[in-house]
Structure 1
């Protein structure tokens, strides 16, 4: 069942308070590229996304991409969370049902860049039956643009493929409480756009990472090392298991 808007905002607000009162030390690594968010709240309260061109990345070789297409595997497009967790995810998926995975993961990249990469691979190689989008944490800085990127991705994928999209929980411990509340509001805003898109696209599957964290507030502290990136191995294993269960569901 799709959560309604009131539920998303209410639970999201509670999640923000849980993170805001934490006194844990923040990790130096965040979903965004730079400290620009700390110096300007930007138009939506979370700051401004800096340049991501030089972010760390993990991109599969052409050989691996072709292997995925030949074996009905999975393409993955993600950000720094996926740079951190993608190898472990690919290993877990391979062990579960033998599926190969090709990844295009780039730290600090917003969804517009991830969809650009999806388009490039579609044009250059073609697409498998399953596409995993693990992108959105960096869109908290400009949430209104997200819906158009969802539409772009679904248009590229077409109606005969399944797009799996991991939803968003990004509340940085490295910023003050006011900005943390903006982060949670914007994360919930992005998630609502996903649920709205699901009404239009029956082949869109949402992997509910945010709700999994919210249902037991201690998870926000124990399963996220900095409010965005999963802790390793606890959060990494939990998030990857949610993804694999969705990818292998029949």
Structure 2
């Protein structure tokens, strides 16, 4: 029998396993690499680098009319980053086929904190539907400890009567050397552990287990991610959006 999302409690082993196939073969090299030697100065305190300016990057934000329509129809508000910019349109089409309207606030490069700021603004300006999708966290590999407080803040904004669907993260960016990839993976697991801990505190928080899905079969990382972070199209995109749709259908 298939377990419900609320009953699935990911183990630390599963969370850290996501991405291991991409990074394991380079761990030894990473320990001796220039990145691991020069380390924290150029790569930031957590080894993944420093978050760059994201405010001028690509964005996809629904019109006020679409936001109000989605609120009135009790659809889904989505807050995302570059993955949301890429995968949001086909996801909206899939949900539309189920009679669920979507309003999006997706912004490439954006970490969790300003995404929650956007959620707070929409809550004040329009009110919220009963389903909120948070597709953010990948850009928090640069400062992973920031996530826990923002998850708490999200749950305070939405209240007890709404459901939050949060997609967990997997990053081991192939454009960077092995030291950064190992740091990316460690920081992704750190973020996912914070989400898993938050799920224990909030009954209305649902984790969409993207990282575990990628870890379930060794070939998925290479096939479903085009750069160690963004879903490939259409294979990875379909897989990730499918997980989201299943989670929303499950309630």
The TM-score with structure 2 as length reference comes to 0.89
Q: Any stretches of 5+ residues in structure 2 without a counterpart?
A: 1-7, 28-38
Q: Distance in 2 between matches of 1:146 and 1:193?
A: 7
Contact 1:18 1:220 in 2 (8 A): no
Structure-to-structure mapping, 1:99-178, within 5 angstroms: 99-178=100-179
Q: Distance in 1 between matches of 2:225 and 2:24?
A: 12
Partner residue in 2 for 1:28: none
- The CA deviation at 1:16 is 4.2
Q: State the Cα deviation string for residues 117-139 of structure 1 (Å, max 9, x = none).
A: 00000000000000000000000
Contact 1:110 1:135 in 2 (8 A): yes
* 1:85 counterpart = 2:92: no
Q: Distance in 1 between matches of 2:25 and 2:113?
A: 28
Structure-to-structure mapping, 1:1-250, within 5 angstroms: 1-9=8-16, 11-12=17-18, 14-17=20-23, 40-95=42-97, 97-250=98-251
Give the secondary-structure state (helix, strand or coil) at the position aligned to 2:47.
coil
Contact 1:19 1:221 in 2 (8 A): no
Q: Distance in 1 between matches of 2:25 and 2:156?
A: 36
Counting matched residue pairs gives 233
- The CA deviation at 1:13 is 6.2
Q: Any stretches of 5+ residues in structure 1 without a counterpart?
A: 22-36
- The CA deviation at 1:5 is 2.4
Q: Aligned Cα RMSD in Å?
A: 1.8
C-alpha spacing 1:239/1:19, structure 2 compared with 1 (3 Å): farther
- The CA deviation at 1:217 is 1.6
Q: Distance in 1 between matches of 2:92 and 2:25?
A: 30
Q: State the Cα deviation string for residues 38-60 of structure 1 (Å, max 9, x = none).
A: x9210001000011110110000
C-alpha spacing 1:188/1:221, structure 2 compared with 1 (3 Å): same
Q: State the Cα deviation string for residues 171-209 of structure 1 (Å, max 9, x = none).
A: 100000011000000000000000000011000000001
Give the secondary-structure state (helix, strand or coil) at the position aligned to 1:76.
strand
Contact 2:22 2:221 in 1 (8 A): no
Q: Distance in 2 between matches of 1:107 and 1:163?
A: 21
Q: State the Cα deviation string for residues 142-190 of structure 1 (Å, max 9, x = none).
A: 0011101101111101010000000000110000001100000000000
- The CA deviation at 1:17 is 2.2
